[in-house]
């Protein structure tokens, strides 16, 4: 009996601690070598095309380094180590390629704000989970996966690279592995949505497909609806 109780306590502690794990998603079609450090400790050094990495942080900062990119990338990013109330962790999503440049998005404070160094003609669709309502004591925000379709309502859920937690944002560029698999390129049809495994089902953005051009943000609201907004501020020249 004692061993069972001990096992259950250990399991509870594991899941409680894992709840605060930070994560990285990389769309890396040109297979650049990417280094990720937790403080001074190297935790990732590979060149895979599609990467998901999670980590319970040991220090207050991560370093992301891509030395062979056109202009070397060397970023210092906040971790969620001292912000244990922030249950989603600091979740960073990167896209980088010779064709389009690079960008990343992150979670809300205390995480580091994203950057956009994409080429001016590169489409950028940003998908954001804003389902949290700080004034709602029931805490009915939901964890979802981004969903992408090339035909109306023909969604594929991106469920291999972690949840999109409340406060998280991800860039969807041509270098996204699901867009590549679905054959979605500039000007072709696309539809975005959110997959809620608790229903299960999709929360759809828009009534139909739209051209994959320009820059838009797709936001999941606290009412569990999706709002599409065109981004007025265009990216700086790459």
Task: Answer whether residue 52 is part of any domain.
Answer: yes
pLDDT of 180 higher than 60 = yes
- pLDDT for res 233: 61
> Distance (Å, rounded) from C-alpha 95 to C-alpha 72?
14
More confident residue, 137 or 142: 142
Is residue 9 a part of any domain in this protein? Answer: no
Mean of pLDDT values over 188-216: 95
Q: Is residue 214 part of a domain?
A: yes
Please give the angle made by the CA atoms of 235, 236 and 238, to the nearest 5 degrees: 110
**Residue ranges with strand state E in 90-142:** 91-97, 101-105, 115-118, 124-129
Q: Is residue 223 over pLDDT 70?
A: yes
Give a yes or no: residue 14 inside a domain. no
Burial code (b: 16+ CB inside 10 Å, e: under 16) for 100-128 equals bbbbbbbbbeebbebebbbeeebbbbbbb
3-class SS of residue 165: coil
- Residue partners of 201: CB distance under 8 A and separation at least 6: 195
- Segments in 122-199 forming alpha helices (H): 177-182
Assigned domain for 192 exists? yes
Question: Beta strand 156-157 with 169-172: parallel, antiparallel or unpaired?
Answer: unpaired
List C-alpha distances in Å: 66 to 11, 126, 158, 169, 171: 37, 23, 25, 22, 18
Bridge partners (DSSP) of residue 217 are 126, 229
> What pTM did the predictor assign?
0.85
Res 141: pLDDT: 82
132, two tokens: 């949290």
Q: Can you give the pLDDT at residue 20?
A: 57
Residue 151 pLDDT > 50, yes or no?
yes
Q: What is the mean pLDDT of residues 114-123?
A: 95
Q: State the pLDDT at residue 134.
A: 63
Q: Is residue 11 part of a domain?
A: no
Question: Model confidence over 23-49: pLDDT tens digits?
Answer: 999 999 999 999 999 999 999 999 999
Question: What mean pLDDT value characterizes the chain?
Answer: 86
Does 237 fall in a domain?
A: no
Q: What is the mean pLDDT of residues 63-70?
A: 95
- Asked, for residue 12, whether it belongs to a domain, the answer is no
Distance CA 68, CA 144 (A): 34
Q: How far apart are CA 105 and CA 115, in angstroms?
A: 7
Could you give phi then psi for residue 3, rounded to 5 degrees? -65, -35
**Number of domains the chain is built from:** 1
Specify the higher pLDDT residue, 133 or 30: 30
Q: What percent of the chain has pLDDT over 70?
A: 84
- DSSP letters, 42-99, are EEEEE--SEEEEEE--SSSEEEEEETTSSS-EEEEEE-STT-TT-TT--EEEEEEETT
pLDDT of residue 101: 96
Range of the domain at 95: 19-230
């Amino acid at each position: 009996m004692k061993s069972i109780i001990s096992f259950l306590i250990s399991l509870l502690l594991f899941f409680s601690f894992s709840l605060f794990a930070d994560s990285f998603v990389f769309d890396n079609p040109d297979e650049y070598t990417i280094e990720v450090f937790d403080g001074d400790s190297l935790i990732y050094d590979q060149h895979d095309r599609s990467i998901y990495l999670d980590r319970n942080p040991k220090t207050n900062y991560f370093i992301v380094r891509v030395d062979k990119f056109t202009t070397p990338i060397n970023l210092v990013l906040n971790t969620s180590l001292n912000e244990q109330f922030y249950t989603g962790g600091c979740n960073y999503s990167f896209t980088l390629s010779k064709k389009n440049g690079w960008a990343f998005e992150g979670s809300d404070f205390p995480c580091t704000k994203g950057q956009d160094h994409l080429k001016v003609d590169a489409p950028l669709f940003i998908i954001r989970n804003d389902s949290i309502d700080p004034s709602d004591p029931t805490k009915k925000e939901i964890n979802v996966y981004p969903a992408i379709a090339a035909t109306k309502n023909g969604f594929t859920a991106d469920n291999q690279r972690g949840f999109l937690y409340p406060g998280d944002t991800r860039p969807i560029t041509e270098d996204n592995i699901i867009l590549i698999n679905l054959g979605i390129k500039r000007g072709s049809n696309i539809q975005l949505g959110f997959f809620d495994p608790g229903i299960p089902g999709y929360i759809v953005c828009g009534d139909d497909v739209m051209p994959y051009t320009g820059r838009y943000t797709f936001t999941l609201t606290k009412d569990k609806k999706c709002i599409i907004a065109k981004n007025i501020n265009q990216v700086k020249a790459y």
